A and B are shown apart, each in its own frame.
Chain A
Amino acid sequence: MSYLVIDHLTRSYAGRPVVQDLSLSVERGTFLALLGPSGCGKTTTLRMIAGLDTPDGGEIRVDGRNITGVAPHKRRMGVVFQSYALFPHMSIGSNVAFGLRMHGLAGGERRRRMAEAIALVGLADHTDKRPRQLSGGQQQRVALARALAIRPDVLLLDEPLSALDAKLRKDLREEMRGILRRAGATTVFVTHDQAEALSIADVVAVMNQGRIEQIGAPEEIFERPSTPFVASFVGRSASFTGIVEDGAVRVEGGAVLHGNGLPASGPVRIVVRPHRIRVLAEGDGAQNALSGTIAALDYTGELVEIIVDTPTGRVPVNVATADAAWHRYGAGQTIRVGWDVADTLVFPA
């Protein structure tokens, strides 16, 4: 049986639905990422699990217990807030020991558990400092230690890395994953950053407008998006609309594209990931091919993204920069690009 179960959860603010009939379940020890654009209801969902917000309908169960009506201080949820919400008037040690104190742990045991949690995040030398004396990354780790110290049933992280700069974010992401693995905590992580969600989570739930669009392993979400929203929100993609005719799709500009699982007729949307598209050399063929002119080259380091304008629409193509071959390409050149039928995602339009 699943450890954390969210059952038909609903919440609206002033008549505007924020979370709509949301259901999901998480196994013990699993790291779940709630991924979605801002305003999709992911933070509200997290706050309802923590008990800081009350659902209008539905149920939240942990380990079979219904906790929907339980006050937040009786829930044992460890929460790391986006702003960390460290107590500014307390030392790092007191911050981490706060939850232990509230759970009635006395003297030696409290000190031992506090030291253990602070050591887990590698801040043992900073126990007596105040939060404002620490850097953003250190504060984030204190918040994590404080939440983990009470050995929560579920650890809830609300965009815990969003206040940090890009480099630190990536380092801390890996570190945090390591810490949580060691702690064995069941974790729900809210983020709008798809790279973060894909790299850190065991399971990703993509949310949009208060609903879950797709839930699955990171690779599944990325390679087999089940809705156009997931395809466009997670990762970059080329997207065309067309009409099914004679088992193929006639797209704008007259080209014909092939795909698996096409409907018998009617309008469809075709989505292709840039890393599945390749540049076709002279005489090369592909199951789906388009020709166009290079609009721009977007150099990002390991990859260069070639933006190709075709009569059908704009197509981004990823080319590795490991060899210098990409220097051949320049804006204004005519180019042919192609991809396989298996990499063609088809959605009803």
Chain B
Amino acid sequence: MTSRRAGWLLCLPAFAILAAAFVWPMLLLARMSLNQTSDTGVLIPALSVATYGRLAADPFTWQLTRDSLVMSAGTASIAVLLAYPMTLFLFRTQSRFRTLLAVAAIAPLLVSGTARVIGWLTILGDGGLVNALLGLLWLPRQHLFNNWTGVWIGLTESVMPYTVLTLLAGFGRLDQRLEEAAATLGAAPLHRFWLVTFPLTLPAVTAAWSLGFVLSVSAFITPHLMGGGRVFVLATEIYDAATQTLDWPAAAALSVYSLVLLLLIFIAQGAVSKRLAG
């Protein structure tokens, strides 16, 4: 048996799981999206794109799309911005607490999404820590929960560990000697960073940003719980259509639409990072 065929065979279990757990359900979903819903909410088996047409005609769909993309791009950007200096420090530090710090940075992954939201409630809620402090300083209280602000804060936090991990992996090719070389050639610290370190970490930055973006688009728990039912994005709308209004064709069509949207963004990102690497 050639090693090539052996390689394919070794991939087979993974392919099988992917087919059973992802491709098959997606096909079912795609099929469901072609059914129709009567005005009274009864599922009518069909083969039509009427549901897509109905959604496309609804301005709310476009608002959802815009809000989802803005929220995801925004939280991914903030997460990368916050994670970058932290990860660079983690990557470089000689401290004996390095491992401990790295674990702390990705610790949010160990906590369930629901528990995290409840934690945020005690900090951001109307009677929470932040507002208590604001009260002590005679400053006006802020609504930081059950609105977009809460969702942005919560999503950024839940995405950050992934961006830290992605950046940390991508920093592997950073060589301290390069910055030293730049220094001896007369580059001040800021120049060293902008002209040497940052360009070399750009592939890691785009990878981390894309991952953060994808995770934010598909995030459901945080927008659902921290938005308090006042924040509408694609994921929450799919959930509502599937479980509240029981409009399964609409839920399915929105799912397919989200998937295609993500694929397009992925292709665009691939093209961009290819140019960066070139």
Contact = CB atoms under 8 A, between A and B. Distances in A.
User: Real complex partners, A and B?
Assistant: yes
Interface of A: 50-52, 71-79, 81, 83, 85-89, 98-99, 102-103, 146-147, 150, 156
Main secondary structure of the interface of B (DSSP, over half): helix
Interface in B179-218: 180-189, 191, 195-196, 199-200
Contacts of A89: 199-200
5 contacts: A51-B184, A74-B186, A76-B186, A85-B178, A150-B186
A102 B190 CA distance: 12
A344 to B, nearest CB: 46
B268 to A, nearest CB: 22
Contacts of B175: 83, 85
Given A88-B200, A89-B200, A102-B191, A83 B177 contact: yes
A73 B178 contact: no
Contacts of A146: 181, 185
A304 B237 CA distance: 87
A76 B185 CA distance: 7
B203 to A, nearest CB: 10
Contacts of B199: 89
Nearest to B183: A72
Interface in B148-183: 173, 175, 177-178, 180-183
A346 B189 CA distance: 53
B94 to A, nearest CB: 11
A215 to B, nearest CB: 25
Contacts of B186: 73-74, 76, 99, 102-103, 150
A79 B200 contact: no
Given A146-B181, A156-B184, 4 more contacts: A52-B180, A79-B184, A99-B185, A146-B185
Contacts of B173: 88
A20 to B, nearest CB: 23
Contact of B187 (A51, A73, A75, A83): A73
List the 8 closest pairs (A to B, CB-CB), nearest first: A99-B185, A102-B186, A85-B177, A85-B181, A72-B183, A79-B184, A102-B187, A73-B183
A156 B180 CA distance: 13
Contacts of A77: 184
Contacts of A83: 175, 177
B111 to A, nearest CB: 37
Interface residues of B, number: 19
B185 A98 contact: yes
Interface centre among B175, B178, B181, B188 (most CB of A within 10 A): B181
Contacts of A98: 182, 185, 187, 195
A50 B185 contact: no
Nearest to B185: A99
Contacts of A79: 180-181, 184
Interface in B43-91: none
Contacts of B187: 73, 98, 102
Contacts of B200: 88-89
A87 B177 contact: no
B96 to A, nearest CB: 12
Contacts of A81: 177, 180-181
Contacts of B177: 81, 83, 85
A74 B189 CA distance: 11
A99 B181 CA distance: 9
B123 to A, nearest CB: 41
A77 B173 CA distance: 26
Given A83-B175, A85-B175, A88-B200, A150 B185 contact: yes
Contacts of B188: 73, 102
A71 B185 CA distance: 12
B185 A102 contact: yes
Nearest to A82: B177
B146 to A, nearest CB: 46
A76 B186 CA distance: 7
B37 to A, nearest CB: 54
Contacts of A52: 180, 183-184
A103 B183 CA distance: 11
Contacts of A50: 180, 184
Nearest to A94: B195
Interface in B24-58: none
A130 to B, nearest CB: 10
Nearest to A102: B186
A102 B186 CA distance: 5
A75 to B, nearest CB: 7
A72 B176 CA distance: 14
A87 B200 CA distance: 9
Nearest to B179: A85
Nearest to B187: A102
Contacts of A75: 184
Name the residue among A71, A75, A85, A146 with the largest chain B CB count within 10 angstroms: A85
A81 B182 CA distance: 12
Nearest to A149: B185
A45 B191 CA distance: 26
A77 B191 CA distance: 17
Contacts of B180: 50, 52, 72, 79, 81, 85
